[in-house]
Structure 1
Amino acid sequence: MTTNLKITLGIAAVMAAIVAVIAVFGDFGARSTDSVADAAAGQSVPAEVLVREDSHTLSTAADGKVTLVEFLDFECEACGAVFPHMERIRAEYDGRITFVVRYFPMPGHRNGELAARVAEAAGKQDRFEAMYAKLFETQKQWGESAESKEVFFTDLAKQVGLDMTAFHADLIAPATAQRVRKDQDDGRRLDVQGTPTIFFNGAQLTEEPSYENLKARIDAVLAS
């Protein structure tokens, strides 16, 4: 075999390898795009990503006919506006719907991630639901601040009756921050781009999550 032929064959092998790599990543990109398109089109998303074993479930339906999953940011004003609608829905359909909360603090909020860790720390003491409500009920007092509201959140922890030594330890524990990031990672996989993002029976809602819209969807499913 001549030297020129060896060089030619070597170049051909390299080019073939490059083409193979492009093909693999091109296929991956196409599948990722299809997944995002499915979510945007209102199609169901992977259940194992939407709800994890350690996700916070505030309401449970025995028949499993209706499941709402909300990716939220406690500092998000839109989430604060949706909160009373969700509470009204939960009260009216108690025992008939499942409602799951996932963390998705947005980068533009100074205290969003901290508030999520506060809620998670409260959850360690089985007080997640109480803290969830407190954070939204007091949002106007701490939201949109440029400074840390840890002192304010500490007072909330006292109000919901937490063991404060355990609360402070859990608040700064790496596992707590990791738990919040895990929800965020799942949200990104599901093409969550803002808050609140709500999934109704596995499909992302495209209409406003008002009481009336949610009620209409729930009634239609429960009546079927």
Structure 2
Amino acid sequence: MSKNARLSLVIVAVVAVVIAGFALFSRDDGTTAVARSADGKVTVVEYLDLECPSCRAAFPGVERLKTEYGDRVVFDIRHFPIPSHRNAELAAVAVEAAGAQGKRDEMFRLLFETQPEWGGQQTSQRAVFLTFADELGLDRAAFEKALDDPALRERVLAQRSEGSAAGVQSTPTFFVGGTKFSGAPTYDALKSAIEKALS
């Protein structure tokens, strides 16, 4: 590749990142830049990796907060599969594939509950995810077709790119009311941040 061609590629990449950044911070659908939705609710955005043990550890506290705050707080889960986690991206796609049949939350919960069984494996866990679809009563053929849908994979990767543009470097990363949360994402710490955003 010539020096000019490489320079052109670098320029294109930089422009793409800048455009993505503008798109991220001009959106008004509960992304990291939005402190409150149109009806005044606080939004909590979480970028997570389904194969990440720290995300699994934070999961029960987040579920408890969802129950406690009900419709006062919008919880927006976004995928950020870490490339070194062999099955994180496929797990994220599995969640979206289950969502096509109305079982996104159930698949999300099942993947975290069973993470010690399939996480950390260096071989594809596709067959395991297919058995999870059976457990949830999904149409297996439709689920498998969705699992191979490039559009779902692109949705997952777009969320990861969006997170990177917002400064996400590890998982889980939370934004509460538009402010990046720092510290350990314990139930008490997240609750405190939510209360501050609500006040």
- TM class by shorter-chain length? 0.7 to 0.9
1:218: how far off? 2.0
Match of 2:177 in 1: 201
Match of 1:143 in 2: 119
- Contact map agreement 1:110 1:145 (CA 8 A) in 2: yes
Tell me: CA distance 1:47–1:91, structure 2 relative to 1, closer, same or farther (3 Å): farther
Alpha-carbon separation, structure 1, partners of 2:75 and 2:87: 24
Deviations 1:10-55 (A, max 9, x none): xxxxxxxxxxxxxxx8xx89xx7xx8xxxxxxxxx82628846xxx
- Contact map agreement 2:97 2:143 (CA 8 A) in 1: yes
Give 3-state SS (helix, strand or coil) of 1:70's partner: strand
Alpha-carbon separation, structure 2, partners of 1:50 and 1:152: 33
Match of 1:48 in 2: 27
Match of 2:4 in 1: none
Match of 1:217 in 2: 193
Give 3-state SS (helix, strand or coil) of 1:67's partner: strand
Alignment of 1:2-81 (within 5 A): 46=25, 48=27, 51=30, 63-81=39-57
1:214: how far off? 1.2
Equivalenced residues, count: 178
Gaps of 5+ in 2: 1-10, 32-36
Letter in 2 for 1:46: F
1:146: how far off? 1.2
1:71: how far off? 0.6
Structure-1-length-normalised TM-score: 0.72
Match of 1:133 in 2: 109
Alpha-carbon separation, structure 1, partners of 2:177 and 2:132: 33
Structure-2-length-normalised TM-score: 0.81
Match of 1:113 in 2: 89
1:191: how far off? 1.5
Match of 2:68 in 1: 92
Give 3-state SS (helix, strand or coil) of 2:71's partner: coil
**Which structure: larger Rg?**
1
Gaps of 5+ in 1: 1-24, 36-44, 53-60
Tell me: CA distance 1:130–1:64, structure 2 relative to 1, closer, same or farther (3 Å): farther
- What is the percentage of aligned positions where both structures have the same residue? 42
Deviations 1:82-128 (A, max 9, x none): 00110111111112110001111001101001101101111111211
1:207: how far off? 1.8
Letter in 2 for 1:207: G
- Contact map agreement 1:71 1:103 (CA 8 A) in 2: yes
Give 3-state SS (helix, strand or coil) of 2:82's partner: coil
1:157: how far off? 0.8
Give 3-state SS (helix, strand or coil) of 2:64's partner: helix
Alpha-carbon separation, structure 2, partners of 1:101 and 1:162: 22
